[in-house]
Structure 1
């Protein structure tokens, strides 16, 4: 009976949490007049023109393309650098390893926004203000401390016999990393990718500070212009919000199994 009540509570919480998302999706297929008449009603006749209007007239396609380019590039770059650093910290013994580990962890102790002024001057001196490359580098650098912290723990959990067996087979450090270690930490990679993708996709602060050209804006900042221009067209607004949410939903659906494996790794050890 206790298990039944737990399931009922969890399903009830899930249904409650999904209600705003369902309302948003349904409203995206309704004209504005119909939304005002019955805000929580079902679409009488689905209207797909809201999506067409949001994608074309509101420059939404540009914002989406910028966000995909910047966020995907930053996540991949940050993960690649973090994997190499975490592999060295987790599997190699060398002088100063603890110091390097503490250095990476220290990057998680202070809010990154506190250093926005020197960061802005640094990017300006490098000619990277109002540049997608500059935003990619800022995002990638900001993700490295957390990624290294998580990935190092996963690398340390792997048996050291794997390194010995790879060395006996003639594999060097990079071959061992690529062919032996990397496949074993895929759950951890999926975890850090998702945990970095979501806040970067929703980040408003850095694009607002570093970007000036409207054609280079990412979705969070672009949405402010979108809301200002289409504040009376609720059907188009909801269509834009749905398109903003779709990549996050797809990412979670695709990576759910790896995320769960990553978060529960080591529980049976």
Structure 2
């Protein structure tokens, strides 16, 4: 009886902690969204209140939509994020397959090198990265951002995918080889379908930092034609005055792609996280 009470108390405590963390994580997003639909006076007078008939306003969205470059900023973010995500998943899966399936001299050192890439923030090399992009004449191009984000996301993708690939039974792969199936077909037709939860996990964990990043767009692509949505929002922030309606509306629209991605991959994401926890 005492053990049951202890387990129930422990489970309750865990749920309370998780619920508190959920509220803490969602509070800034909810605050941005509800204030995006209020007029300027209501934002400052009652920022925690929900919009009502007196405070309701879409002026922020109207200003954002009327901005000639807003959709261009949104498109730049979409291009950079989708391209980077596709390259990270493709090359990360192939590298993870090679490291988990084929043992060769130096494979452990190579895996340690990728693990080191997770521990060291890529922003520490900002100056060197900027010098490289200047020498390659890639400043103020979306290509520069894609290259940086691919280098940033590959270590984590390789580590997660390789761990999942190592759990696939060897008998399944050997049976495919005995049937005359080539290595490429084994990889694309057997391995990838089995690691879909891991791929979804990597996709979500990779997309969010890329989409929300402000550091590298500000340094590598600050030009008007290459600004991303997070950098483009800064134009509504002035030295002496800030258009908070437009800022909050733009940020609310910028959150939508992340929410859509989570809705599509939530089941696979949860499966990937729980599978990783069991392993």
Q: TM-score, normalised by structure 1?
A: 0.89
3-state SS in 1 of match to 2:123: helix
Give the drift of 1:37: 3.7
Give the drift of 1:40: 2.8
3-state SS in 1 of match to 2:48: coil
3-state SS in 2 of match to 1:180: helix
Flag structure 1 segments of 5+ consecutive residues without an equivalent.
none
3-state SS in 1 of match to 2:118: coil
Query: Out of 220, 228, 231, which is 1:221 matched to?
Result: 231
8 Å CA contact retained: 2:236, 2:243: no
Question: For the aligned residues, what is the CA RMSD?
Answer: 2.4
Post-superposition Cα deviations, 1:113-171, rounded to whole Å, max 9, x if no partner, equal 22222222222222211110121111112211111111111111110011111112221
Deviates more, 1:208-217 or 1:222-231: 222-231
Using a 3 Å threshold, how does the CA distance of structure 1 residues 16 and 101 change in structure 2: closer, same or farther?
A: closer
Q: Distance in 2 between matches of 1:241 and 1:35?
A: 15
Question: What is residue 170 of structure 1 aligned with on the other side?
Answer: 180
Number of aligned residues: 269
1:23 aligns with 2:31: yes
Q: Whose RCO is larger (CA < 8 A, sep 6+)?
A: 1
Q: Distance in 1 between matches of 2:112 and 2:122?
A: 17
Q: Distance in 2 between matches of 1:267 and 1:146?
A: 16
8 Å CA contact retained: 1:230, 1:237: no
Question: What is residue 65 of structure 2 aligned with on the other side?
Answer: 55
8 Å CA contact retained: 2:59, 2:245: no
Q: Distance in 2 between matches of 1:5 and 1:112?
A: 37
Flag structure 2 segments of 5+ consecutive residues without an equivalent.
1-7
1:155 aligns with 2:155: no
Question: What is residue 102 of structure 1 aligned with on the other side?
Answer: 112
Q: TM-score, normalised by structure 2?
A: 0.86
Give the drift of 1:17: 4.3
Q: Distance in 2 between matches of 1:131 and 1:107?
A: 25
